Amino acid sequence: MKTVAGAVARRYEVMVQAAATLGLRQGEAFGLAVDFVWKPTLIKADIPTTHENGFHMLRHHFASVLLERGVSIKAVADFLGHADPGFTLRTYTHLMPSSEDRMRQVIEDVWATGQSALDVP
């Protein structure tokens, strides 16, 4: 099934590959994606090209969902093109409200099985 998100993601990947061919960094490819993919898509859908509808907000949402679902900071940083995973952590840590709950649940799940710390990889 085709989705808007899938179409945008495929178009973004094409932009990243084209940018790499031209010797551009992923962040520079992001700028091309905003100008040549995201904004024209908003205009075609008759959605105002405001900050609230910007690609940057979508990027924040994307990163926060990945982190919320347990994807590592390193993997998210690599995908977003951040050279320093610490930057990604500082930027998105406030978007991970359930981290303490997930931590507690992990410990509860392990203890519920009767495993010791030595049994856990």
pTM: 0.54
- Same-domain status, 96 and 79: yes
Which structural domain, as residue segments, surrounds residue 85? 54-121
- Same-domain status, 23 and 39: yes
Residue bearing the bigger pLDDT, 119 or 50: 50
What value does the mean pLDDT take over residues 44-71?
A: 83
CB-CB contact of 31 with 22 (8 Å) = no
Q: Is the pLDDT of residue 116 over 70?
A: no
4-30: per-residue pLDDT in tens?
667 667 766 777 777 777 777 766 766
What value does the mean pLDDT take over residues 48-52?
A: 84
Residue percentage of the chain with pLDDT more than 70: 76
Distances (CA, A) of 79 to 8, 15, 88, 93, 108: 15, 14, 11, 17, 32
68-83: per-residue pLDDT in tens?
888 888 998 988 888 8
- Same-domain status, 66 and 100: yes
Our count of domains for the chain comes to: 2
- Same-domain status, 16 and 37: yes
Residue 47, both tokens: 């959605």
